[in-house]
Amino acid sequence: MKTLGLEAVIRVDGVDLTEYDVKTDAEAKSVTCWIASEAGKPLAPLLYAVGGYVSVDGISIGGTLRRTMHGNGFISQKDRVVSQTKARPLLFAPINLTDDDAYLNSQRNKGLGDITLRIDHVQETGKLGQWSEVNDVSAEDKVHERSKKAMAHRVKFGEEMARPNTLPASVRTCGTLAIFVFKYRSLDVLRADGIAPPAPAAPRAEKRKARELVGQGDESENGEPTDDSVDEDEAELKAQLRLIQEKLAKKSKKVKTEPTARSTLVHGEIIDLT
């Protein structure tokens, strides 16, 4: 998504996810869209900006700062730093449902289904001595089955991985430039809600071929078509015939009643933020 000369994307397997139903609120300096999530896939929020902060499902995972901004490079926030030398990657994962009412109104799941990227104008004020240890397991929380909002996935923190031993920066925020909100749901949910286009229908020949490949009994042992196969083909042909007859009837009526129609950024240094 783009707004005010800034841009943000969510990338999975090296490909930018398709954005559906993009809406911009100029007064709030925000832009919102829907993206399709797939369980087990690592995700990488990317920003084309001087500095930005990322939160997933309402959980802040820190930010990144670019000292100069004279090129077309993106900065990535694909993991959450948990120690001086370790980070946990972001993953789409199946949601963990429960019927325990203790989770029904949990504030820890307030931002569930949203990936928010906030781009700020900041000034670096110094370096911090070390990273604070992070033990927050909010992303592992269960979600009550009555409050999941048609959710199938959530963002999970993966296994710890080694990261470069860098020091975090201390900054002063001078103002928010833009906010990008990516609302994620499974592709099936987006299609059911009319947000994503429906899946293309497979041609009849492909359907027939698929039946043959999986051995669904289009032919009997002696090679002759089975009764079920014949009945299915007959029903399909009758349906096609009805459609053709309806079109011909409409065309004939139109000819009788209607008159003839007349034509009328250079890459800068990147450091981590707390």
What is the full per-residue pLDDT of the chain (274 aa) written as tens digits? 988 888 899 999 989 999 999 999 989 899 999 999 999 999 898 877 666 888 898 888 888 776 655 555 677 888 888 888 888 999 999 988 888 887 777 776 788 899 999 988 877 787 666 666 555 555 556 787 777 666 889 998 889 899 887 777 777 888 888 999 999 999 999 999 999 999 887 666 665 665 555 555 444 555 555 555 556 667 677 777 877 877 777 766 554 444 444 433 344 445 555 5
Do 89 and 137 belong to one domain? yes
Whether residue 269 is contained in a domain is answered as no
Indicate the SS3 state at residue 206: helix
Query: Which among 197, 212, 237 is the end of a domain?
Result: 197
Residue 252 is assigned to a structural domain of this protein = yes
Pair (12, 109) in one structural domain: yes
- Residue at which a domain ends, from 197, 231, 247: 197
Q: Measure the CA angle with vertex 78, ends 74 and 81; round to 5°.
A: 120
Question: Phi and psi for 213 in degrees, rounded to 5?
Answer: -65, -40
Instruction: Classify residue 101 by its DSSP letter.
Output: G
Residue at 262 is within a domain: no
| Residue 84 sits in the same domain as residue 165 | yes
Are residues 132 and 23 part of one domain?
Answer: yes
From the list 128, 1, 112, the residue with the least C-alpha distance to 55 is 112
Q: Are residues 109 and 236 in the same domain?
A: no
Is residue 263 domain-resident? no
**Domain end (from 172, 197, 222):** 197
Q: Is 82 inside a domain boundary?
A: yes
184 shares a domain with 227: no
Instruction: Report d(CA 274, CA 266) in Å as an integer.
Output: 25
Quote the number of domains for the chain: 2
Helices (H), the chain: 187-192, 204-214, 227-257
- Are 214 and 240 in a shared domain? yes
Same domain, 85 and 155: yes
Q: Are residues 186 and 112 in the same domain?
A: yes
In this structure, the answer to whether residues 185 and 121 fall within a common structural domain is yes
Q: What domain range is 60 assigned to?
A: 2-197
Contact 36, 16 (CB under 8 A): no
In a domain, 270, yes or no: no
Same domain (yes/no): 71, 159 = yes
